[in-house]
Amino acid sequence: MITEDQDSRISDLYRQSSQETPPAHIDRAVLELAGKSVRRRPWSPFGNHWVAGGALAGVVVLSVALVLDVPRQAEHSAPAQDAPAPAREAQPEVHKETVQRRVLPSERPAGSEAKRAAPAAPAPRFDFYGTLPDSEVVAPQAEPRARLQQAPSVAAEETATTTPAPAAVADESAGVTTAPSVAADEPASAAPAPATAVKESTATTPASQGAWYLQVGSFREKHRADELQAKLTELGYRCAVHEVRVTDTDVFHRVRVGPFAGKDTLEKSKLGLGAAGFQAYAVRVEE
């Protein structure tokens, strides 16, 4: 992959991950200060009604505190502060509906706020990355790394209890019609892969290079990974928890179903997991 593509990838990744917004109390403080500066009380129900400066002690104190705290910089050499003192300004034309319609950003629906706060971000499906890092289900709806065929697989109804075909990674030439060989201790109901001629993408790897899994979750806390694994096992999926040390301080516990013999079985399991409420996405793990 050439440098420019990788740069784009870095930029995209960054935008997906960078979603934090200021806390609500900060928004309020800024808006209050701005409102005071135009001599308008933000939540006044009285429209044009002029409010004497300092009507709200709290607001005044806050704005005074903010103003006095501001460092003196050179950009716009500031004469004495005038924000708290009710210096009369020529009243510009007033927007009568300004006060009634104004809604604090913190009161706006969270979804739109998130979208507004990150105008350059990609589709909103990545918004939830701004929340806690240990949320239950990890996967985005897109599959950035999946090499699956785009043709949708057979309808999902039958796959609710599908067990993925275990063990050896399929030969490309064999397609995916291998009869699944069930491991001895495995709860079984394996669904045979359909006979559609599956054109393997190059990413179905020979055994020496790794295998495909469905990753269902990744957690810092092991017990949450164990819980997820237990649930999946109950549903009939063979899965395991892999521990990965990401940095000196970060260990992630990943819950993965697999390995899969081929794309079809993986896809069916993915749909099955989706029907059960788990979002999973395909990962290739090199051994």
Partner 1 sequence: MQRYAGGDMEAFERLYERHRGGLYRYFLRQSHPLVAEELFQDVWARVIQSRKRYRPKAAFKTWLYTLAHNRLVDHWRREGSRSIETSDDDCPEAATADAHPGPQRLVDLRECLEQLLALVAGLPEVQRQTFLLRHEAGMTLAEIARAMSTRAETAKSRLRYAMDRLRAAIAKECLEG
For residue 108, what is the DSSP state?
S
Residue 133 is a binding residue for partner 1 (CB under 8 A): yes
Residue 86 is a binding residue for partner 1 (CB under 8 A): no
Interface with partner 1 (CB under 8 A), residue from 116, 125, 199, 222? 116
Residue 20 is a binding residue for partner 1 (CB under 8 A): yes
Residue 139 is a binding residue for partner 1 (CB under 8 A): yes
Residue 125 is a binding residue for partner 1 (CB under 8 A): no
Residue 33 is a binding residue for partner 1 (CB under 8 A): yes
Phi, psi of 172 (to 5 degrees): -65, -40
Sites for partner 1 among residues 243-272 (CB under 8 A):
244-248, 250, 252, 254
Interface with partner 1 (CB under 8 A), residue from 53, 105, 166, 187? 105
Nearest to residue 229, comparing CAs of 255, 259, 258?
A: 255
* Strand, helix or coil for residue 245: strand
Tokens read off for 186? 């495995």
109 upstream amide cis, omega within 30 of 0: no
Interface with partner 1 (CB under 8 A), residue from 26, 85, 174, 207? 26
Complex with partner 1: residue 157 or 248, whichever CB lies closer: 248
Residue 76 is a binding residue for partner 1 (CB under 8 A): yes
Residue 145 is a binding residue for partner 1 (CB under 8 A): yes
Count the alpha carbons within 13 Å of 20 in the hemisphere toward its beta carbon: 4
Interface with partner 1 (CB under 8 A), residue from 55, 61, 78, 85? 78
Pairing mode, if any, of strands 251-260 and 211-219? antiparallel
The identity of residue 129, as a single letter, is Y
Residue 59 is a binding residue for partner 1 (CB under 8 A): no
Residue 224 is a binding residue for partner 1 (CB under 8 A): no
Minimum distance between the CB of residue 278 and partner 1, rounded to whole angstroms? 15
Q: Which residues contact 239 (CB under 8 A, 6 or more apart)?
A: 216, 229, 232, 233, 255, 256, 257, 258
51: number of Cβ within 10 Å: 16
Residue 106 is a binding residue for partner 1 (CB under 8 A): no
| Site track 167-206 with partner 1 (rule: CB under 8 A), x = hit | ----------------------------------------
236: number of Cβ within 10 Å: 19
Cα separation of 173 and 267, whole Å? 19
Interface with partner 1 (CB under 8 A), residue from 45, 52, 93, 185? 93
Complex with partner 1: residue 158 or 287, whichever CB lies closer: 287
The identity of residue 159, as a single letter, is T
Cα separation of 205 and 211, whole Å? 7
Complex with partner 1: residue 38 or 195, whichever CB lies closer: 38
Residue 149 is a binding residue for partner 1 (CB under 8 A): no
Number of residues near partner 1 (by CB under 8 A): 81
